[in-house]
Chains A and B, each alone.
Chain A
Amino acid sequence: GENVEQHPSTLSVQEGDSAVIKCTYSDSASNYFPWYKQELGKRPQLIIDIRSNVGEKKDQRIAVTLNKTAKHFSLHITETQPEDSAVYFCAASTSGGSNYKLTFGKGTLLTVNP
């Protein structure tokens, strides 16, 4: 089955700096890569995703890049703000017929220091 590795497990940056979180996956058939943000005590929320037909996607201060050859994808947050502090999860999806399932990385605790 799919295996997703996520690094780093913790990341501390100063407000205004950029943050980068990286994930690798094992199943070359994976074709959907979402990122979730989970604030303390809250539900995971989808913040951005990318499908295998594009290499990069951007939404304001957040961007995701995908390298299918190397089987890795990354989350980039620019101009970080204290409210970006949360745990971020990457995931990879394999789809077989009508069955979709996400395999998650272990998460990255991002702390943005004011």
Chain B
Amino acid sequence: ETGVTQTPRHLVMGMTNKKSLKCEQHLGHNAMYWYKQSAKKPLELMFVYNFKEQTENNSVPSRFSPECPNSSHLFLHLHTLQPEDSALYLCASSPLGGPSYNEQFFGPGTRLTVL
């Protein structure tokens, strides 16, 4: 499969559940990102990873825990979420060098509903 993939595409969870979102990129990029997209709000950057190292945490609550085992995979572990965390969670990747640096390519997203 090519591009950026995300699983699951839809997730419904209770506030006491623990779940994980997965992102995989097949583009040879070295940077990966998590974004939150809520209705009527701009895309909000959550985390940035460069070469597996976290370089940005945009004041995200600790109930969201990212993990980047290698440059191709990114996870977002979720626990004790709130209903206001319901949103579309988008993963993206980009190269860190070359003429196309910072061109970010998005995955299809995971539509999360917290009951």
Residues of A within 8 A of B (CB): 4, 32, 34, 36, 42-46, 49, 89, 91, 93, 95, 98-107
Contact of B96 among A98, A103, A104, A105 (CB under 8 A): A98
Q: B21 an interface residue at 8 Å Cβ cutoff?
A: no
Contact of B45 among A42, A46, A89, A102 (CB under 8 A): A102
- CB <8 Å contact, B45 and A101: yes
0 or 1 for each of B97-110: is its CB under 8 Å from A? (1 = yes) = 00001111111110
Number of residues in B with C-beta < 8 Å to the partner? 24
Could you say which residues of chain A place their CB within 8 Å of the CB of B101? 100
Main secondary structure of the interface of B (DSSP, over half): loop
Main secondary structure of the interface of A (DSSP, over half): strand
A16 vs B40: C-alpha distance in the bound complex, in angstroms? Answer: 28
Q: B50 an interface residue at 8 Å Cβ cutoff?
A: yes
Could you say which residues of chain B place their CB within 8 Å of the CB of A93? 102
Q: B90 an interface residue at 8 Å Cβ cutoff?
A: yes
- CB <8 Å contact, B103 and A99: no
Additional A-B contacts beyond A91-B43, A103-B45 (6; CB < 8 A): A95-B102, A98-B51, A99-B48, A100-B94, A101-B33, A106-B42
